A and B are shown apart, each in its own frame.
Chain A
Amino acid sequence: MTLMSYRQALHDTLRSEMLRDENVMLMGEEIGVFEGSYKITAGLLAEFGEKRVRDTPIAEEGFTGAAIGAAMLGLRPVVELMTINFSLIAIDQIVNHAAKIYGMFGGQAKVPMVIRTPGGGGQQLGATHSQNIELYYAFVPGLKVVAPSTPADAKALMLAAIRDDDPVLFLENLALYNTKGEVPDHDEPAIIGKAKVTREGSHLTLIGYSRMAYVAKKIADQLADSDHLDIEVVDLCSLRPLDRETIINSVKKTNCAVVVEDDWLTYGIGAEVAATISDGAFDYLDAPVRRVAMAEVPMPYAKSLETAALPSEDDIINAIYQTLDAIGHRRSKTGPHD
């Protein structure tokens, strides 16, 4: 194990996969000479050269599509989209092509490629640069969408994504790049399509992904110390396929759930999780499933407004207590929920 940042884990994994397989190549805006807007690809141009680390014009549709075409011929391109907001320029290629080519042609061509892109608000980047629109891709059969919340998962899921024969949208997060954690030294790919219970508990299931899985774990640890609450945390890790069984199994144990997400609430990932719980664990539920998500506004620039729009830790803690209160559990109560 080595302690490293989420950024470093991504960088090191890209590098080790490029060393392992010469079909792995990187494409994106400013990933070479500039070393990446968020420096994930720092040093890779110098090490691997222009052929394998390719700076592209500002043409997301063109170069994302080119990566798909190259993947059809067996390369394993890893595309960097500077932020997920810009993926909208490439959405025709991602949704109408990457996601369709294997099925539409009856399984004759695989598209083994990765689209890396960070989401995340809270950086005062305003309405067009703060969105969390991974839902658009998680909606589409044929795509896989993964969203690691820790440096270790970033490594394991990147290994899996690059080695996968399907197109994978790999969601990173601006606020996670500098977070640190222990990362295994060996190369063990994650299994895409599996969620993780990152903290076992019995009082309530707190569900999130990407930054919110990180926040959820932090809050659960904190409430265990301060309030003797025993919260189970589920990190979805994969948005498509969605590991419904891990969600259900947890709720069957805790009998209540709060879903936290950085995207908008209406039609969001949390809605899918809540519907899953309603369908698979209705008889086990002691309280309605609560969702904590962003306010339904375009993200404002002003810090005061941005902070109000984003789900805060207090919002999540309040939702946890409202849920527990609804089933008669009190803040002071220390015994297991029954």
Chain B
Amino acid sequence: MSTAKRPTTKASTATKTASVTAKATATKKVAAAAKVTPKATPPKKSPPKKTTVVSSDAVQLLDYYREMLFIRRFEERAARAYTQALIGGYCHLNLGEEAAVVGLMSALRPTDYLFTNYREHGYAIARNIDPNAIMAELYGRVDGVSKGWGGSMHMFDMEHRLLGGYGIVGGQLPLATGAALAIDYRGGDDVVMCTMGEGTSNIGAFHESLNIAQLWKLPVVFVVINNFLGMGTKVELSSAEPEIYRRAAAYRMPSARVDGADPIEVAAAARIAVESARAGQPYLLEVTCHRLRGHSVVDPAKYRSASEVEELKLHDPVHNLAERLLNLGLTDADTLAALDEAMLARLDEIAAFAEASAHPDVNTLFDYTYATPVPNDSRRLPGQSLFDENGVAR
């Protein structure tokens, strides 16, 4: 597929391109699907991948590992701060999703846009947003990415084109579709990536958005992170089509499924998806992952059987990549240990930054209700009467 400017009006060309893409990826899809199913018997041992690694890939793998490990340590630190009541609200972690996160984000240009859901800290990190600002947001402080207004679920950074974590399941899909519409409207060549969990594919906004994106040939990639569990409900019990990528067929949209254990495979699949979108053909990419802990920090995940918990250990992408790097001779245990130590120290600094950041001034309470100043916008605090002593409404 051409990476040049996508066709804007040649519907027949675009459709043809789509079907070619779909066919071209079909074989790969089946292979990937066969490799990863929720009930597949896992390999006996932590499986070093047999992929032949050329030297540029070796550098890439080490970079991915560093990023993944950083996300892992960040999330563990967030969990700790949450249990210490330094972080409020909900706190959903990307534990187990690290390879998917870094692989997906590596396929985007800095000017491409990302819309995601409430399990988003790793994505913010992988978009190169300052981790201090991410942690400060979790702490609800002024230096947070959303100035303390969003929290864990609602991070935003226009400069890095993270256009929001969204707390309502499926809420981000119509928005991402609309952002792609704006890009298309102006003839730009940026792409929008929109991530979600597999449970989101059951909500109306998913179907409405895929339909609209395909009808209008918008530059958007919908990414389903399928960790096989919507909170505690298995995908087979919530989705009549549990292989989510197949749902794209209803919209004649190309799609693929990739194993989210391997950042290189995820990145390769994501590049195909992103370039398709850039050429005017939206795409649905399903990435299979394993959520290593509960739905959120407070969820003990009692719905998992002992054998499922045991099996999860084999699906830890950070651990598996470390093994792989060691087996390939790309690093050694001492180097990895030193790296980890450095990251833990960095996380200490990040947490200290967040804790030192100021709580938002209550005088800013009314600063963000409206972007355009408006007369009679209420600035009444809960205990106050509607009118002040001079009869002026507040």
Q: Which residues of A contact B (CB under 8 A)?
A: 25, 51, 54, 56-57, 59, 61-75, 77, 92-93, 96-97, 101-112, 141-142, 144, 164-166, 191-194, 238, 241-245, 248, 275-276, 279-280
A56-B212, A72-B178, A279-B387 as given contacts; A65 in contact with B205, CB under 8 Å: yes
**With A and B bound together, what is the CA distance between A158 and B209 in angstroms?**
28
A66–B376 touching, CB < 8 Å: no
Partner of A66, one of B157, B177, B204, B375: B177
Partner of B179, one of A69, A102, A243, A275: A69
The residue in chain A whose Cβ has the minimal distance to the Cβ of B194 is A69
The residue in chain A whose Cβ has the minimal distance to the Cβ of B385 is A279
B174–A104 touching, CB < 8 Å: no
Smallest beta-carbon distance A109→chain B, Å: 7
A108-B157, A165-B371 as given contacts; A51 in contact with B181, CB under 8 Å: no
Smallest beta-carbon distance B379→chain A, Å: 10
A104-B154, A108-B157 as given contacts; A92 in contact with B168, CB under 8 Å: yes
Smallest beta-carbon distance B370→chain A, Å: 5
Q: What are 9 A-to-B residue pairs whose CB atoms are below 8 Å?
A: A57-B211, A70-B179, A97-B168, A101-B164, A102-B371, A107-B147, A165-B371, A166-B372, A243-B376
**With A and B bound together, what is the CA distance between A142 and B372 in angstroms?**
10
Q: Which residues of A contact B204 (CB under 8 A)?
A: 61-62
B174–A193 touching, CB < 8 Å: no
User: Which residues of chain B (128-147) have a CB below 8 Å from chain A?
Assistant: 144-147
User: Which residues of chain B (326-348) have a CB below 8 Å from chain A?
Assistant: none
Known: A61-B208, A69-B177. 14 other contacts (CB 8 A): A62-B212, A69-B115, A69-B180, A70-B178, A72-B163, A96-B171, A97-B168, A102-B370, A105-B164, A106-B145, A106-B156, A107-B368, A108-B156, A109-B156
**With A and B bound together, what is the CA distance between A29 and B10 in angstroms?**
23
Smallest beta-carbon distance A108→chain B, Å: 5
**With A and B bound together, what is the CA distance between A277 and B177 in angstroms?**
45
Q: Which residues of A contact B155 (CB under 8 A)?
A: 105
**With A and B bound together, what is the CA distance between A97 and B174 in angstroms?**
10
A74–B182 touching, CB < 8 Å: yes
A241–B178 touching, CB < 8 Å: no
Smallest beta-carbon distance B330→chain A, Å: 40
The residue in chain A whose Cβ has the minimal distance to the Cβ of B211 is A57
